[in-house]
């Protein structure tokens, strides 16, 4: 399912477990439940999709309570609908976001119909101010993913021939992004007008995610068009952002694109930063560049050192590493899924269970929960149908095949149907304490929430295929032709590269780029990807060299005056 060029020993096992399990799973007692839940999710998707097509298409998103539409892609921030051109019909955002979900659910006819409509009707030559990050992950990502799926002749998604109808749309949109990168730093503006580029007096403030999470979509666009400019500008922005790290390898949340100075120094793994970490690893998987892996490795260890507290992740000051905000945010729930991709399954499971505990407490996952007070944030009590918990549940089930995750998925499905389903679609929740609804069905409900739940119960789409999913849930195939070098060893059945490492003692699994379970020595238990056990099982030591690295915090242990290894120096 996933195939990076180097860090694939974990993922190869991941594929083999999936393949072996699938042969016997059809006879398991869970098969009937998975089939039943799959159909529930399919019904959810089409209830949302059909209502969008009836009441909102070709506008961006559905307002399910009033059965009308919103052109939300152009309303993000402070821009009001009345500021848009009177003839602006939106970008058919939800339709674009639904394309790969239609493929995964086997509806080739509707996929072909949607592609043909988009190719004949969609235009980006409109006087509309859009958010670069959101338009990139939702629209460009949706078009690039659908183009690659349609181009795969083995899937037979078209009755006739697919003539690259989506490619000109993707390339046109990519070209309209380019003026945003014309800054002294190469960091792009957060907002851009699709017709006129960067407007006068445009804000120069953006987020870490906003300028560090463009490389997958724009890199893929360069690969399919043969024009390196898209990958080049996204890579330049990413490298500039990387150069702005603190001495602790931490990053802030917001920054100025003209001066290259940080505005907000506190950050975590949630809003404003989340997909930056995600794209470092996934860019390594998709493009095979070792630089991406090195950046992710350093950044991941820093996160574990300075943000992690047991199963939770708080926020911290990028300069000092001191905790700033002790809070859970719903966007953080993607992190366990990312950890699965590097084999840190124990840590992923611990965090996932805490997120699900909060879900069970409130019925859904609130946007922000104050860990230090064990209470909801007073103003951010909403749930906008977010997918992150479902996403991590899917990854953890694929890694472990523990049926408990099927029960988690069932609970999520039941909650969504109980609290958010209305006659006109699925509505967001404005207040999780009262379950008061809000008139908005976000496009990511179809692009991600329904998709990951469907894949949890029916993973046939990924069998025998290598895909990574973008932060918006759009699948991109991992192709050897996109990598800088040909792999050293190739397994035709799954396309996975295996790099054989020499035996190295006292080095972490992450440094070796192997699964923790494969880095075992006799009598040792490897607990995480950064864990290095102490030289002796009784923790006795003579010098610091006898001490390893803590499994939870990734901090170096040291030898005390009494001769015992521990976290004596913080």
Residue numbers belonging to the annotated binding site for Ca(2+):
471
**Catalytic residue at 172?**
no
Residue 410 is a catalytic residue: no
Helices assigned H by DSSP within 108-248:
108-121, 132-135, 141-151, 167-177, 208-212, 215-225, 229-243
Sheet order of strands, 205-207 included: 205-207, 254-256, 262-264
User: Which of 231, 388, 458, 459 is an active site residue?
Assistant: 388
Catalytic residue among 60, 61, 367, 410: 367
| Active-site hit among 75, 97, 171, 274 | 274
- Nearest by Cα to 416 from 426, 403, 402, 431: 426
Is there a catalytic annotation at residue 545? Answer: no
Contact 47, 40 (CB under 8 A): no
Q: Are 200 and 177 in contact (CB under 8 A)?
A: no
Backbone angles phi, psi at 161, to 5 degrees: -100, 140
**Cα angle for residues 468, 279, 236 (degrees, 5° grid):** 130
Query: What is the DSSP code (8-state) at residue 63?
Result: E
| Nearest-angstrom CA–CA distance, 282 and 299 | 14
CB environment 552-562: b (16+ within 10 A), e (fewer): bbbbebbbeee
Burial code of 160-175, b = ≥16 C-beta within 10 A, e = fewer? eebeebbbebbbebbe
Backbone angles phi, psi at 404, to 5 degrees: -60, -35
Phi/psi-derived region of residue 308, left when phi > 0, alpha when psi is between -120 and 50, beta in every other case: beta
Q: Find tokens 């030591």 and name the residue.
A: 541
Per the annotation, binding residues are 471
- Residue 238, judged by CB atoms within 10 A of its CB (0-12, 13-18, 19+), counts as buried
- Provide the pairing of β-strand 308-309 with 312-313: antiparallel
Phi, psi of 559 (to 5 degrees): -95, 125
Of 110, 134, 472, 534, which residue is the catalytic one?
Answer: 134
50 is catalytic: no
Active site residues: 134, 274, 367, 388
């Amino acid at each position: 399912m996933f195939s990076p060029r180097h860090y694939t020993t974990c993922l190869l096992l991941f594929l083999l477990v999936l393949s072996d399990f699938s042969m016997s799973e059809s006879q398991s007692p869970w098969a009937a439940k998975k089939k039943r839940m799959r159909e529930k999710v399919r019904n959810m998707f089409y209830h949302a999709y059909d209502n969008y097509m009836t009441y909102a298409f070709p506008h961006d998103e559905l307002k399910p309570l009033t059965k009308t539409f919103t052109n939300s892609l152009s309303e993000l921030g402070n821009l009001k609908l009345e500021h848009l051109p009177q003839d602006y019909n939106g970008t058919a955002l939800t339709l674009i976001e639904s394309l790969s979900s239609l493929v995964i659910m086997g509806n080739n006819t509707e996929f072909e119909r949607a592609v043909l409509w988009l190719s004949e009707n969609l235009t980006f030559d409109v006087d509309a101010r859009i958010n670069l990050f959101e338009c990139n992950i939702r629209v460009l990502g949706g078009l690039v993913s659908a183009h690659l799926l349609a181009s795969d002749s083995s899937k037979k998604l078209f009755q006739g021939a697919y003539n690259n109808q989506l490619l000109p749309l993707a390339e046109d949109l990519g070209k309209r992004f380019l003026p945003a990168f014309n800054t002294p730093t190469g960091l792009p503006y957060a907002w851009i007008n699709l017709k006129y580029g960067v407007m006068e007096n445009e804000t120069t403030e953006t987020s870490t995610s906003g300028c560090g999470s463009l490389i997958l979509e724009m890199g893929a666009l360069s690969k399919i068009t043969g024009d390196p400019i898209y990958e080049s500008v996204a890579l330049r922005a990413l490298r500039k952002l990387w150069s702005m790290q603190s001495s602790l390898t931490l990053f802030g949340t917001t920054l100025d694109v003209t001066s290259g100075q940080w505005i907000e120094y506190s950050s975590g793994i949630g809003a404003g930063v989340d997909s930056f970490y995600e794209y470092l690893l996934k860019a390594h998987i998709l493009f095979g560049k070792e630089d991406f892996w090195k950046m992710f490795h350093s950044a991941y260890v820093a996160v574990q050192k300075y943000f992690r507290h047991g199963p939770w992740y708080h926020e911290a000051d990028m300069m000092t590493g001191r905790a700033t905000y002790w809070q859970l945010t719903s966007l953080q729930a993607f992190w366990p899924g990312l950890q699965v991709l590097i084999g840190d399954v124990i840590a992923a499971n611990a965090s996932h269970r805490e997120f699900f505990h909060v879900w069970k407490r409130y019925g859904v996952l609130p946007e922000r929960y104050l860990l230090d007070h064990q209470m909801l944030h007073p103003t951010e009590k909403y749930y906008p149908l977010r997918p992150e918990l479902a996403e991590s549940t899917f990854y953890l089930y694929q890694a472990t095949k523990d049926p408990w995750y099927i029960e988690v998925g069932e609970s999520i499905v039941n909650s969504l149907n109980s609290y958010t389903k209305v006659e006109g679609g699925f509505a967001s929740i404005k207040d999780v304490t009262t379950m008061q609804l809000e008139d908005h069905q976000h496009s990511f409900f179809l692009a991600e929430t329904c998709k990951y739940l469907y894949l949890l119960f029916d993973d046939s789409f990924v069998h025998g295929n290598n895909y990574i999913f973008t932060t918006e849930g759009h699948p991109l195939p991992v192709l050897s032709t996109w990598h800088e070098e040909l792999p050293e060893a190739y397994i035709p059945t799954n396309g996975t590269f295996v790099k054989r490492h020499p035996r190295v003692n006292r080095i972490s699994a992450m440094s070796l780029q192997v699964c923790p379970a494969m880095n075992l020595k006799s009598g040792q238990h490897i607990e995480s990807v950064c864990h290095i056990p102490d030289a002796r099982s009784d923790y006795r030591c003579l010098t610091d060299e006898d001490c390893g690295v803590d499994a939870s915090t990734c901090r170096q242990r040291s030898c005390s005056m009494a001769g015992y290894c521990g976290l004596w120096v913080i």
